[in-house]
Amino acid sequence: MRSDRPFDRGRLKGYMWECVILKLLRENEFLEVLVSDNIRIRQHRSHFLEIRGRGAWHQIDCCCDYDSFIPFINPIRLLGEVKFQHKPIEKYLIREFIGTIKDIQENYFISDDFSTSTERYTELGVFFSANSFSEEAEKLAFAHNVKTISYNNIAILEPLKKIVEETERNYLSARLCLSENNQSEFITLFRDILLRNEEAILKFKKHFRTPNGFEKVINSLLDKFYKIGANFVANSSGGAMMHFVGINTFPDELFGKTDTQPCQVFYQNSDLPNREYEFYLIFSEDQKKRKFYFSPPTSLRQAVFFGKKKQ
């Protein structure tokens, strides 16, 4: 609510957006890391995971293991940072995250104690922004193999972001939700709400003393969320990672014998305020021509000017 400090309101929106991202990641075979061994992973509070680096422990917003095996590659562990702010993510935030990832990646050792876990992972740093990145931030991240995923100009997700902002602004007290005794409960209940758990909504209303209208806005959030028919993460040939979302189901039939497919990228004039174009992908062999929308990196946005025509 507006009586809270702007910094705390930003954190609150970040926690809610983190829950949204985790749900989308679970649908892409990423399983949240929940088990602590107190050697490399510890968890003082529920949903607040810390991973030990070479020089310090680091709190990670989204720590997920990829559920599929890739030959000759250590199991993939996604270390995600999530931000919900209106201005572009600047390079100083990327610089801080690079330091965290590097410190974690370098903390491996061989122990003579065979009861001690020595399993290695391929740690992948990913920075999720509800909005955009500055061009310098994207370049710095790319240079250090940190992936940046923006949800800046995806019309299908814009209602979700607006409802998150409305919920924070009109129905929640950051002071109450972010107090040390309540943060874990807030995240637990909000995640359950995204799973359409009606009991969680009632518990949330009681615990955080939400005003009238909260349940209506939450149901609106869920309706918008469940209109997403498919979401998936893919890499371009140049190494850029993008998160695609669409209202249609994913064309599984095209990937029965291969992990790659030729595709075409289109752009059209955007109906969103302060957005010039909206980008979407179509798999070339998809007879239904299903559209999957994404927010491109700066390099791809610039490529628009070399295209032949707009759609």
Task: Please check whether residues 75 and 114 belong to one and the same domain.
Answer: yes
User: Which 3 state secondary structure label does DSSP give 175?
Assistant: helix
Residues 200 and 290 in one domain: no
Bridge partners of residue 79, in order along the sequence: 63, 125
Q: Structure pTM?
A: 0.90
Say whether both 199 and 237 belong to one domain. no
Please tell me whether residues 157 and 53 are part of one structural domain.
Answer: yes
69, part of any domain:
yes
Q: Is 193 exposed, middle or buried (0-12, 13-18, 19+ CB in 10 A)?
A: buried
The token pair at 204 is 């949330």
Say if 40 falls within a structural domain: yes
Residue type, 95: R
Residue 49 lies in a domain: yes
Last-in-domain residue among 192, 210, 228: 228
Of 212, 228, 244, the residue at which a domain comes to its end is 228
pLDDT at 99 (0 to 100): 97
The reply to whether 33 and 179 lie within a common domain is: yes
Whether residues 222 and 238 share a domain: the answer is no
**Assigned domain for 311 exists:** no
Task: For residues 165 and 29, state if they share a domain.
Answer: yes
- Check whether residue 51 and residue 185 sit in a common domain: yes
Q: 110 lies in which domain range?
A: 1-228
Q: What is the pLDDT of residues 58-105, one digit of tens each?
A: 999 999 999 888 888 899 999 999 999 989 999 999 999 999 999 999
Per-residue pLDDT of the chain (311 residues; tens, 9 = 90+): 555 777 888 899 999 999 999 999 999 999 999 888 888 899 877 778 899 999 999 999 999 999 888 888 899 999 999 999 989 999 999 999 999 999 999 887 665 555 555 578 899 999 999 999 999 999 999 999 999 999 988 888 999 999 999 999 999 999 999 888 899 999 999 999 999 999 999 999 999 999 999 999 999 999 998 899 999 998 877 778 899 999 999 999 999 888 888 999 888 887 766 667 889 999 999 999 999 999 988 766 666 555 545 44
Same domain, residue pair 151 and 287: no
- Which residue, of 228, 249, 282, is where some domain finishes? 228
Three-state DSSP class for residue 30: strand
Do residues 218 and 243 both lie within one domain?
A: no
pLDDT tens digits for range 39-48: 889 987 777 8
What domain count does the chain have?
2
- Count of C-beta atoms within a 10 Å radius of residue 134: 16
Provide the CATH number for the domain around residue 50.
3.40.1350.10
For 156, residues 6+ apart whose C-beta sits below 8 A from its C-beta are 227, 228, 245, 246, 247, 293
198 and 261 part of one domain: no
> How far is residue 177's CA from residue 26's CA, in Å, rounded to a whole number?
25
* Whether 37 and 71 share a structural domain: yes
- The predicted structure's pLDDT at residue 269: 80
Give me the half-sphere count of Cα atoms (radius 13 Å) on the Cβ side of residue 279. Answer: 20
Q: What is the pLDDT of residue 114?
A: 53
